[in-house]
Structure 1
């Protein structure tokens, strides 16, 4: 019985660790894509300050997701319920990271149109 509970707790802990790993990788990807897009478009200081603000917002959202998984880890959810939530959160995380970084393309186009 103790081994079954120990394995179950270990598996839940691994979900929280795995989400943290995905968060770190997604943050690096988010930052690199933003920097590359702004650098390719000949970004100004205003756009670089926008990158700093976007990364700060991403960090706040990432911390919220980590807290959510800490709470889910303590909850009484089944392993299949946790696995489903994990897959959904990972898909949303990567979609937000990639799409969020690609939003700089229209921003830089509009910025260049308005300010040369």
Structure 2
């Protein structure tokens, strides 16, 4: 509907950088909440909570790198259909990493419970 009225939503009017920034913020919040809920739910101790802080920091650094990548990609002269494909691929990978990365605490906590009793 937006492209029908010609409000700049088609072609180079799409602001992939802003859209990626929104996805990154939401994925970071989802990652952090899942991390906290999983560690608290599994009865994690202080080292697990410190691990959550390190994991969230690492995710934030990676998110910043991805955002800088999209600033450079949008400044380049790549065609819009190529940017669209890259954007969709990056969003899929971002959300998969956000959700699956948080779930890695399950095997870690099981391993430490088995190891330490």
TM-score (norm 1): 0.88
Provide the alpha-carbon RMSD of the alignment: 1.2
Other-structure match for 1:68: 69
Q: Which has the higher contact order (CA 8 A, sep 6+)?
A: 1
Q: Report the structure, 1 or 2, having the larger helix content.
A: 1
Please list every run of 5 or more consecutive structure 2 residues that lacks an aligned counterpart in the other structure. 1-9
Other-structure match for 1:110: 111
**4+ residue stretches of structure 1 with deviation over 6 A?**
none
1:74-108 superposed Cα distances (whole Å, 9 cap, x missing partner): 10011101100000000000011111000010011
Q: Does 1:46 align with 2:55?
A: no
Q: CA deviation at 1:115?
A: 2.3
SS at match of 1:90: helix
In 1, Cα distance between equivalents of 2:24 and 2:54: 18
SS at match of 1:42: coil
Aligned pair count reads 108
TM-score (norm 2): 0.88
In 1, Cα distance between equivalents of 2:27 and 2:113: 28
Other-structure match for 2:4: none
Please list every run of 5 or more consecutive structure 1 residues that lacks an aligned counterpart in the other structure. 1-6
